[in-house]
Amino acid sequence: MKTVYMDHAAATPVRKQVVEAMLPYFDEHFGNPSTVYDMGSRIKHVIDEQRATVAELIGAKAGEIIFTSSGAEANNLAIKGIGLARQKKGKHIIISAIEHHSVLNSARFLERMDFEVTFLQVDQHGLVDPERLSRAIRPETILVSIMHANNEIGTIEPISDLSAICREKGVVFHTDAVATVGNIPVDVNELNVDLLSLSGVSLGAPKGIGALYFRNNLRLMPLIHGGIQESGRRAGTENVPAIVGLGKASELAAQELPHKAEHVKELRDRLVTGVHGRIEQVKYTGHPEKRLPGHASFCIEAIEGEALVFMLSQKGIYVNTGSACASKALKTSPVLVAIGVPPDLAQGSAVFTLNGTNTVDEIQYVLDQLPVAVEKLRSLSPIWRTKTAA
Amino acid sequence: MKTVYMDHAAATPVRKQVVEAMLPYFDEHFGNPSTVYDMGSRIKHVIDEQRATVAELIGAKAGEIIFTSSGAEANNLAIKGIGLARQKKGKHIIISAIEHHSVLNSARFLERMDFEVTFLQVDQHGLVDPERLSRAIRPETILVSIMHANNEIGTIEPISDLSAICREKGVVFHTDAVATVGNIPVDVNELNVDLLSLSGVSLGAPKGIGALYFRNNLRLMPLIHGGIQESGRRAGTENVPAIVGLGKASELAAQELPHKAEHVKELRDRLVTGVHGRIEQVKYTGHPEKRLPGHASFCIEAIEGEALVFMLSQKGIYVNTGSACASKALKTSPVLVAIGVPPDLAQGSAVFTLNGTNTVDEIQYVLDQLPVAVEKLRSLSPIWRTKTAA
């Protein structure tokens, strides 16, 4: 059976060159970078090279990158690390209502530590309004965290407008760029952010590696305490093979990004046009233009997203419903609720995230199979029968 | 040049079978275990199998294992997770004076959260006295953390005696077993502990993976907040290849442990006897019998441990001085200070940690080279000249 994988926001296969780059660090160059002999210092040097490569991808300096075990850990380190380090200045933070669970629940943790958290509403496309952010900032606000792009609806936030407001008011600004790094150009100076989280997922790097960019000399309470690895900001023996994998993936991403973005945008547009032409009563969620190039998200009337995902997977098509992390935790997506999608319609969420390896033929196959699956599900739906009979 | 690696506590090469087991999970079975389609659930099933294998190695149940990114993260999760979850019962915790930095600095973090921490002194062999622990427990004590074995001096603590006291008094007991799992039999029921940290290092698993055992239904504040992975106790997409690696390494360790322990003990005893026969003024640190079988640690009068490590590495011999994590942070080892080694003598620390792959020939090579290096360093030492002239 044909396999068409369009759930790259949830996971991507690790690229062959990336695995090959990692392999020698499992058994040949296996030493602990903290040891004082040459075997250790050679590996320390390799880590520093990767740090520079990852930094370069986002316009940062090597010394501004902390390697973490995931994007989620980077988000936790940013939110809690800044919150706990700056709490003497104030205990108010602001995040958007559509942040990833790792940002949202880190903020909830701070609430338990007597912080106040403002959850900024977004418009019907998922955009945060700079004016609204400006009004929400108080003298005791120490941190604002707004994601670069949302994985569920693809919307890209106006980060540089938002960060400019924070810069002016002396508030630290963090962005969760897990959905963007590797998919669109990301430059920490253009974005003008103080902290930025990324993960290897969109880069074809392995699971188990992420990074936090932090502007030099920003004080941060470590999340994992212990030894002095990562300049004392993240303890634990460095995950050398995964760091090498992230470095290699970053190098490849830097070369391929322009072409990849163009390619997936073309496929995505073809998919969206096709869906609208073939299926009635479909809402395209997220911003129509300000969105990730390879991202298409729909809410399909009178179907259950999970059932659709399951049916498509029987045809070898892999897509998502809601966000990857939340999929088993929640029935109604908080992101879709935040942009005003009615709960019933929100049940019919289907998210397609493309990668450079997807093809026009694959899009065609999806456009052949998707309407069949939707029709089948609708034929079983009492809601649909009522609607269409009316 | 011959290479003799005897720093297995700092890092071990990942075993060939382990790398092979991991490989398909980078690109072939790359899906996100949280996704609802079959590709995801198959990988979820693989993770559960690994969880059972790791659990079996320590006599636990699969549902009692949380995968983490390192032993250090497991220690942080245990200390902060229990501390923050149980603080309404009391804000006093007890750790030994020779804990790993990840335990020590997690306790220091709790001190900043208004906890009180008692650092239990140890005897000249590094042993914690159960009587002393019993006296230190107060009504507001919520957690005791004593390591299973110390990596720097090899001493194995009387965990079941210590945990029995805590069990009786209703205090949660955690042990950092990073140094023991894979080196000696470890059974959570015999040890009678509530939580136990392990890492892949002593098992020949890759870097970037560890685990925390927690007795069922123990409440724990997550360290990494976000999605509901690891039963809601540790967020972030599961590091599938590394989890598979830890599983495979655990399976091999369970088979090989008895033979390995006997083999490294024999080599270690040969090394210790040889060192005492060939070098004068050497102190064997840690407990003479209650210690890790492949562990030998010395303080050598009138030399600098770092210089010795460097000289030996020129001969292809890789050993450690002090603990791996602390080696660059501190001049005098707090562990050696805690067991009463005079600071001058503590400078001359050399730690040998053996593995099943080491051989009698390698021990002989070390016994040939070590006295030469020590003599050379001593010939340059004014302290030594004064001493021997006296």
Range of the domain at A113: 16-253
pLDDT at B83 > cutoff 90 = yes
Last residue of a domain, one of A186, A219, A253: A253
The whole-number pLDDT of residue A330 equals 53
> Are B227 and A201 an interchain contact pair (Cβ–Cβ within 8 Å)?
no
Closest to A283 in 3D by CA, of A270, A304, A300? A300
Give A326's pLDDT tier (boundaries 50, 70, 90).
very low
**Chain-wide mean pLDDT for chain B?**
95
Q: B217 and B96, same structural domain?
A: yes
Q: B262 and B139, same structural domain?
A: no
* C-alpha–C-alpha distance, residues B339 and B125, integer Å: 6
Q: Which residues of B touch A23 (CB under 8 A)?
A: 19
| CA A147 centroid distance within chain | 8
| Percent of chain B residues topping a pLDDT of 90 | 90
Q: Which residues of B touch A102 (CB under 8 A)?
A: 224-227, 235-236
Closest to B65 in 3D by CA, of B210, B165, B190? B210
Mean pLDDT calculated for residue range A259-266: 97
Q: B27 and B90, same structural domain?
A: yes
* C-alpha–C-alpha distance, residues B80 and A120, integer Å: 30
Measured at the CA of A257, the angle between CA A253 and CA A262, to 5 degrees, comes to 150
The whole-number pLDDT of residue B201 equals 82
> Are A36 and B306 an interchain contact pair (Cβ–Cβ within 8 Å)?
yes
- Most A CBs within 10 Å, among B25, B35, B76, to test the A interface: B35
Report whether A110 contacts A144 (CB < 8 A): no
Counted domains in chain B: 2
> Are A73 and B224 an interchain contact pair (Cβ–Cβ within 8 Å)?
yes
* C-alpha–C-alpha distance, residues B296 and B305, integer Å: 14
User: What is the C-alpha end-to-end distance of chain A, expressed in Å?
Assistant: 40
Three-state SS at B113: coil
For residue A44, give every residue at least 6 positions away whose Cβ sits within 8 Å of its Cβ, in sequence order, or none: A33, A34
Q: B228 and B293, same structural domain?
A: no
* C-alpha–C-alpha distance, residues B376 and B277, integer Å: 18
Please name the member of A32, A240, A326 whose beta carbon is closest to the beta carbon of B10. A32
Mean pLDDT calculated for residue range B209-236: 94
> Are B237 and A19 an interchain contact pair (Cβ–Cβ within 8 Å)?
no
Last residue of a domain, one of B253, B280, B306: B253
The whole-number pLDDT of residue B324 equals 42
Does residue B92 or residue B330 have the better pLDDT? B92
> Are A313 and B39 an interchain contact pair (Cβ–Cβ within 8 Å)?
yes
- Most A CBs within 10 Å, among B22, B38, B69, B323, to test the A interface: B69
CA distances from A387 to A285, A301, B174 (A): 22, 10, 60
> Are B206 and A26 an interchain contact pair (Cβ–Cβ within 8 Å)?
yes
Report whether A147 contacts A186 (CB < 8 A): no
> Are B69 and A236 an interchain contact pair (Cβ–Cβ within 8 Å)?
yes
Amino acid identity, residue B339?
Answer: I
Q: Which residues of A touch B207 (CB under 8 A)?
A: 237-242
> Are B224 and A14 an interchain contact pair (Cβ–Cβ within 8 Å)?
no
Name the minimum distance, in Å, from the CA of A390 to any CA of chain B. 34
Mean pLDDT calculated for residue range B127-150: 98
What's the CATH code of the domain at B208?
Answer: 3.40.640.10
Q: B82 and B212, same structural domain?
A: yes
Please name the member of B16, B38, B228 whose beta carbon is closest to the beta carbon of A27. B16
* C-alpha–C-alpha distance, residues B207 and A47, integer Å: 14
Please name the member of A32, A37, A318 whose beta carbon is closest to the beta carbon of B37. A318
Give one word for B208, left, alpha or beta, with left for phi > 0 and alpha for psi -120 to 50.
left
Name the minimum distance, in Å, from the CA of B246 to any CA of chain A. 13
Q: B142 and B20, same structural domain?
A: yes
Last residue of a domain, one of A205, A224, A253: A253
Helix (H) / strand (E) element for B68: namely: strand B65-68
Please name the member of B26, B31, B102 whose beta carbon is closest to the beta carbon of A226. B102
CA distances from B114 to A141, A165, B140, B169, B224 (A): 24, 35, 13, 23, 21
* C-alpha–C-alpha distance, residues B13 and B203, integer Å: 9
pLDDT at A323 > cutoff 60 = no
For residue B89, give every residue at least 6 positions away whose Cβ sits within 8 Å of its Cβ, in sequence order, or none: B140, B142
The whole-number pLDDT of residue B331 equals 67
3-state secondary structure B308-371: HHHHHHHCCEECECCCCCCCCCCCCCHHHHHCCCCHHHHCCEEEEECCCCCCHHHHHHHHHHHH
Both tokens assigned to A52:
């520079």
- Most B CBs within 10 Å, among A29, A35, A228, A234, to test the B interface: A35
> Are B228 and A329 an interchain contact pair (Cβ–Cβ within 8 Å)?
yes
Helix (H) / strand (E) element for B295: namely: strand B295-300
Q: B221 and B369, same structural domain?
A: no
Q: B343 and B277, same structural domain?
A: yes
Measured at the CA of B336, the angle between CA B332 and CA B337, to 5 degrees, comes to 70
The alpha carbons of chain A give a radius of gyration, in whole angstroms, of 22
Closest to A55 in 3D by CA, of A246, A289, A316? A246
Query: CA nearest A73 in B: which residue?
Result: B224
Please name the member of B11, B102, B221 whose beta carbon is closest to the beta carbon of A30. B11
Q: A288 and A167, same structural domain?
A: no
pLDDT tens digits, one per residue of A75-102: 999 999 999 999 999 999 999 999 999 9
Q: Which residues of B are catalytically annotated? A: 325
> Are A26 and B329 an interchain contact pair (Cβ–Cβ within 8 Å)?
no
Query: CA nearest A328 in B: which residue?
Result: B34
Q: Which residues of B touch A37 (CB under 8 A)?
A: 309-310, 312-313, 318
pLDDT tens digits, one per residue of A364-378: 999 999 999 999 999
pLDDT tens digits, one per residue of A223-254: 999 998 998 999 999 999 999 999 999 999 99
pLDDT at A179 > cutoff 50 = yes
Q: Which residues of A touch B100 (CB under 8 A)?
A: 226
pLDDT tens digits, one per residue of B276-326: 999 999 999 999 999 999 999 999 999 999 999 999 999 999 999 974 444
> Are B225 and A76 an interchain contact pair (Cβ–Cβ within 8 Å)?
yes
Task: Characterize B66-100 residue by residue with b for buried, 16 or more Cβ atoms within 10 angstroms of its Cβ, and e for exposed.
Answer: bbbbbbbbbbbbbbbbbbbbbbeebbbbbbbbbbb
pLDDT at A209 > cutoff 70 = yes
> Are A39 and B313 an interchain contact pair (Cβ–Cβ within 8 Å)?
yes
Mean pLDDT calculated for residue range A268-288: 98
Beta strands A4-5 and A317-318 are parallel
> Are A34 and B242 an interchain contact pair (Cβ–Cβ within 8 Å)?
no
The whole-number pLDDT of residue B359 equals 98
DSSP secondary structure string, B151-189? Answer: TTT-BBP-HHHHHHHHHHHT-EEEEE-TTTBTTB---HH
The whole-number pLDDT of residue B230 equals 92
Report whether B344 contacts A52 (CB < 8 A): no
What's the CATH code of the domain at A277?
Answer: 3.90.1150.10
| CA B143 centroid distance within chain | 20
* C-alpha–C-alpha distance, residues B363 and B352, integer Å: 10
Both tokens assigned to B283:
């102190």
Closest to B81 in 3D by CA, of B146, B167, B163, B172? B172
pLDDT tens digits, one per residue of A183-195: 999 999 999 999 9
Please name the member of A16, A209, A326 whose beta carbon is closest to the beta carbon of B227. A326
**Chain-wide mean pLDDT for chain A?**
95
pLDDT at A325 > cutoff 80 = no
- Most A CBs within 10 Å, among B22, B73, B88, B237, to test the A interface: B237
Query: CA nearest B77 in A: which residue?
Result: A224
Q: A341 and A292, same structural domain?
A: yes
The whole-number pLDDT of residue A383 equals 83
User: What are the start-end ranges of the H helices in chain B?
Assistant: 16-22, 24-27, 38-57, 71-85, 101-112, 130-136, 159-169, 188-191, 240-278, 305-314, 334-338, 343-346, 360-379, 382-389
Query: CA nearest B207 in A: which residue?
Result: A239
Mean pLDDT calculated for residue range B131-151: 98
Q: Which residues of A are catalytically annotated? A: 325
Q: Look up residue B149 and give its DSSP letter.
A: B
- Most B CBs within 10 Å, among A37, A223, A321, to test the B interface: A37
Give B332's pLDDT tier (boundaries 50, 70, 90).
confident
| Percent of chain B residues topping a pLDDT of 70 | 97
Q: B116 and B214, same structural domain?
A: yes
3-state secondary structure chain A: CCCEECECCCCCCCCHHHHHHHCHHHHCCCCCCCCCCHHHHHHHHHHHHHHHHHHHHCCCCHHHEEEECCHHHHHHHHHHHHHHHCCCCCCEEEEECCCCHHHHHHHHHHHHCCCEEEEECCCCCCCCCHHHHHHHCCCCEEEEECCCECCCCCEECCHHHHHHHHHHHCCEEEEECCCCECCECCCHHHHCCCEEEEECHHHCCCCCCEEEEECCCCCCCCCCCCCCHHHHCCCCCCCHHHHHHHHHHHHHHHHHHHHHHHHHHHHHHHHHHHHHHHCCCEEECCCCCCECCCEEEEEECCCCHHHHHHHHHHCCEECECCCCCCCCCCCCCHHHHHCCCCHHHHCCEEEEECCCCCCHHHHHHHHHHHHHHHHHHHHCCHHHHHHHHC
Name the minimum distance, in Å, from the CA of A291 to any CA of chain B. 23
Give A390's pLDDT tier (boundaries 50, 70, 90).
low
Q: B204 and B137, same structural domain?
A: yes
Q: Which residues of B touch A334 (CB under 8 A)?
A: none
Name the minimum distance, in Å, from the CA of A389 to any CA of chain B. 32
Query: CA nearest B226 in A: which residue?
Result: A102
